[in-house]
């Protein structure tokens, strides 16, 4: 009963989305209410702690909620100013046929755009239809090209934010990891280990929607090369640490674009010319890339983090506080890139007005969903705690009243030494329910740590957490919100969405299982 009550908020969200087709935003509210009531009444957590955990989670989520919000503003302005159309036109001029377009745009440009914060299912379907793809193929490729490097989306927030939460507020201390920065790099490296198989798998899925098994038979080599270049570039950059984590996805996507272009380029073809129109159109992304390189240089980042001092420190409850570090966070520089690029893009007043109005209408959904899923994660993490002498401390029965500990111990007892096989499926489930890999990585961090420590030893946690994150990225292929969003852009109906989901579900589950098998082998060999 304790296990069922502990996992109830997650089950409620899952049932609401799968069986009742409710939105992620609506279910984030329902999930938060269930988590709060369950922690308060069943697990005897003081209401002040439950409210404090909710506020802490919402404020802690600022790093992603504001990054998503300002990225959406950037994209809407670029769209209204004609910048996105110019970028797409240039990309189209580079590619010659559907196979090249699939690998160049889908694997390369899609991964680069995803790393810069573009939600490809919301923008790419009309592009592929204009290139001659069927609406179903256009939607499928637009969704799939978000997945190979999902962990590096939005300047790698699915990696950096959960890592800092796990190390800081959650207090997770894997052996051999001495600080938050080491946690981020170890997390990144353990993610990239699984990507060669996953990226090639997604390249093959894209080809299937272009021309079924015949396309795979004829072009398996090109798909394999594109997938390996994308993943191995990310892997090498993560292990050499020659660039910040935040730009690894951008460089991996760009490298894949180059290789795909030259792989299919014929002798005598005219060279690609990136004229002033393209550079102006891409100016927000170029500026953001430059800002990211500069502000993530350790001395600069340290200076920026200390600029406002205590003025940006928020005290929550029980001695818990959050230093917002506004000037060191990526969301601030996304906003700066938006503002600085305005004189370059030169949008009209009417275009700015339309972009802003669209932004105001659409920004609240993801803002609320991310905020409340983070709140759920902290309610579960703080359940069984109480405030004593002004400090948040574990209660007398903490071990038997903490929701994360209960879930972790139950899973550990159920699967034992075979836990690595099923661990990635928690990442798949979390991303499907929470709507993003970031939410999954935060929601299940302590649960995974507890289960790993109880079964195979805490030293295996980083490998397990990396596999968890990769599976969360795989889940993007079957997330209802992405499928519905992409389908609406090209006029597909519910029947088509169902067909797409049925086609993708088995490959997605197979990839996740393969990640589990790889993880089991890695853990076994490391002992």
Stretch among 87-96, 158-167, 235-244, 378-387 having the lowest mean pLDDT: 87-96
pLDDT at 252: 95
Q: How confident is the model at residue 143 (pLDDT cuts 50, 70, 90)?
A: confident
Show Cβ contacts of residue 66 under 8 Å, excluding neighbours closer than 6 positions: 329, 331
pLDDT at 493: 64
pLDDT at 17: 66
CA 7, CA 156: separation in Å to the nearest integer? 28
Q: How confident is the model at residue 269 (pLDDT cuts 50, 70, 90)?
A: low
Provide the CA 296 distance to its chain's centre, in angstroms.
Answer: 20
- pLDDT above 90: residue 350: yes
Both tokens assigned to 21: 């087709």
- pLDDT above 70: residue 164: yes
Average confidence score pLDDT of the chain = 85
Show Cβ contacts of residue 406 under 8 Å, excluding neighbours closer than 6 positions: 2, 3, 6, 400
CA 69, CA 62: separation in Å to the nearest integer? 10
Both tokens assigned to 54: 């909710």
* Longest Cα separation, the chain: 77
Q: How confident is the model at residue 272 (pLDDT cuts 50, 70, 90)?
A: low
pLDDT at 38: 93
3-state secondary structure of 435: coil
Instruction: Report which of 391, 375, 378, 521 is spatially closest to residue 456, judged by C-alpha positions.
Output: 521
Provide mean pLDDT across the span 440-450: 85
pLDDT at 435: 64
Q: What is the dihedral of CA 349, 350, 355, 358, to 10 degrees?
A: 140
Stretch among 154-168, 242-256, 297-311 having the lowest mean pLDDT: 297-311
| Number of domains present in the structure of the chain | 1
Where does residue 79 rank: exposed (0-12), middle (13-18), buried (19+ CB within 10 A)? Answer: middle
Q: What is the pLDDT of residues 351-382, one digit of tens each?
A: 999 999 988 887 887 788 778 888 887 898 88
Show Cβ contacts of residue 251 under 8 Å, excluding neighbours closer than 6 positions: 233, 237, 243
Provide mean pLDDT across the span 271-292: 81
pLDDT at 334: 87
End-to-end CA distance of the chain: 34
- Please provide the size of the chain in residues: 527
CA 174, CA 160: separation in Å to the nearest integer? 16
Provide mean pLDDT across the span 157-180: 90
Q: What is the pLDDT of residues 183-213, one digit of tens each?
A: 999 999 999 999 999 999 999 999 998 888 9
CB 61 within 8 A of CB 404: no
Both tokens assigned to 321: 């506080």
pLDDT at 471: 93
Stretch among 255-264, 403-412, 512-521 having the lowest mean pLDDT: 403-412
pTM (predicted TM-score): 0.79
Helices (H) and strands (E) in the chain, counts: 26, 4
User: What is the dihedral sign for C-alpha 495, 499, 502, 507?
Assistant: negative
CA 235, CA 230: separation in Å to the nearest integer? 9
Provide mean pLDDT across the span 148-161: 88
Provide the CA 355 distance to its chain's centre, in angstroms.
Answer: 24
Q: What is the pLDDT of residues 73-109, one digit of tens each?
A: 888 898 899 888 888 778 777 777 888 888 888 899 8
Provide mean pLDDT across the span 422-429: 87
CA distances from 348 to 57, 94, 280, 311, 361 (A): 38, 29, 15, 37, 20
Domain region containing 352:
1-526
pLDDT at 278: 85
pLDDT at 248: 94
Express as a percent the part of the chain with pLDDT over 90: 31
pLDDT at 236: 97
Q: How confident is the model at residue 480 (pLDDT cuts 50, 70, 90)?
A: low
CB 116 within 8 A of CB 290: no
CB 186 within 8 A of CB 167: no
Both tokens assigned to 446: 């302590």
Q: How confident is the model at residue 234 (pLDDT cuts 50, 70, 90)?
A: very high
Provide mean pLDDT across the span 448-474: 91
3-state secondary structure of 315: strand
3-state secondary structure of 185: helix
């Amino acid at each position: 009963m304790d296990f069922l009550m502990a996992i109830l908020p997650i089950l409620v969200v899952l049932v609401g989305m799968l069986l009742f087709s409710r939105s992620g935003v609506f279910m984030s509210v329902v999930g938060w209410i269930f988590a709060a009531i369950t922690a308060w009444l069943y697990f005897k957590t003081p209401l002040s702690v439950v409210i404090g955990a909710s506020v802490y989670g919402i404020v802690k989520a600022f790093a992603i909620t504001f990054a998503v919000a300002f990225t959406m503003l950037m994209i809407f302005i670029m769209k209204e100013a004609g910048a996105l159309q110019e970028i797409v036109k240039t990309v189209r001029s580079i590619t010659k046929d559907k196979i090249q377009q699939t690998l160049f745009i889908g694997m390369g440009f899609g991964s680069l755009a995803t790393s810069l914060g573009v939600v490809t299912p919301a923008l790419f379907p009309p592009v592929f239809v204009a290139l001659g793809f069927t609406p179903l193929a256009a939607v499928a490729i637009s969704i799939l090209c978000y997945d190979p490097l999902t962990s590096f989306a939005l300047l790698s927030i699915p990696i950096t934010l959960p890592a800092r939460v796990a190390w800081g507020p959650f207090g997770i201390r894997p052996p051999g990891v001495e600080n938050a920065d080491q946690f981020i790099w170890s997390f990144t490296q353990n993610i990239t280990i699984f990507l060669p198989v996953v990226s090639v798998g997604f390249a093959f899925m894209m080809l299937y929607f272009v021309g079924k098994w015949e396309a795979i038979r004829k072009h398996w080599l090109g798909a394999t090369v594109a997938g390996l270049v994308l993943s191995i570039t990310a892997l090498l950059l993560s292990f050499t640490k020659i660039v910040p984590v935040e730009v690894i996805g951008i460089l991996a996507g760009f490298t894949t674009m180059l290789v795909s272009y030259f792989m299919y380029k014929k002798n005598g073809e005219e060279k690609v010319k990136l004229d002033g129109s393209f550079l102006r159109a891409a100016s927000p992304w170029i500026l953001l890339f430059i800002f990211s390189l500069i502000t993530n240089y350790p001395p600069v980042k340290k200076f920026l983090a200390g600029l406002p001092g205590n003025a940006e420190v928020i005290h929550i409850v029980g001695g818990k506080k959050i230093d917002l570090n506004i000037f060191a966070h990526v969301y601030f520089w996304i906003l700066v890139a938006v503002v600085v690029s305005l004189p370059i893009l030169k949008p009209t007043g009417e275009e700015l007005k339309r972009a802003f109005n669209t932004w105001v209408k659409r920004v609240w959904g993801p803002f609320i969903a991310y905020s409340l899923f983070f709140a759920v994660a902290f309610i579960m993490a703080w359940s069984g705690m109480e405030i004593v002498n002004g400090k948040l401390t574990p209660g007398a029965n903490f071990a038997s009243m903490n929701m994360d500990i209960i879930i972790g111990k139950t899973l550990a007892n159920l699967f034992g030494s075979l836990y690595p096989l099923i661990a990635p499926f928690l990442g798949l489930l979390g991303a499907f329910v929470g709507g993003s890999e970031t939410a999954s990585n935060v929601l299940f961090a302590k649960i995974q740590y507890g289960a790993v420590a109880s079964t195979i030893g805490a030293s295996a946690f980083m490998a397990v957490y990396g596999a968890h994150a990769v599976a969360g990225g795989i889940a993007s292929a079957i997330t209802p919100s992405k499928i519905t969003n992409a389908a609406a852009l090209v006029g597909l109906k519910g029947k088509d969405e169902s067909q797409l989901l049925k086609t993708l579900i088995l490959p997605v589950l197979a990839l996740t299982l393969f990640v589990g098998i790889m993880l089991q082998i890695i853990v076994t060999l490391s002992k």
